[in-house]
Amino acid sequence: MVLCDDGNLYNWGVGLYGILGNGSNSYALKPVVNEDFLYQRQEAEREGLDFGFRKISAADEYTAAVMKDGQLFVWGKNDFG
């Protein structure tokens, strides 16, 4: 996962457990923009709101993002809630 200067979050790699956040368990061999955050950023910009990431993290079975407004998004394996 990488956050680029264009404000978009890109994911690639093994897609098991939905860790790429694209609704699939398939591998992504090239970086693919996370469309959910792309849509949210575009909506926020239209409304003049500040949108962005405070922190991102990824490991073997999960991916997470903390937004500037404090929201937490986590996707991937959910063995323990």
> Which tens digits make up the pLDDT trace of 6-50?
889 999 988 888 888 878 888 899 999 988 899 999 999 999 998
Please tell me the distance from the alpha carbon of residue 53 to that of residue 16, in angstroms, as a whole number: 24
pTM (predicted TM-score): 0.80
Q: Is residue 78 pLDDT above 70, yes or no?
A: yes
Q: Name the region of 45 (left: φ>0; alpha: ψ -120 to 50; beta: rest).
A: alpha
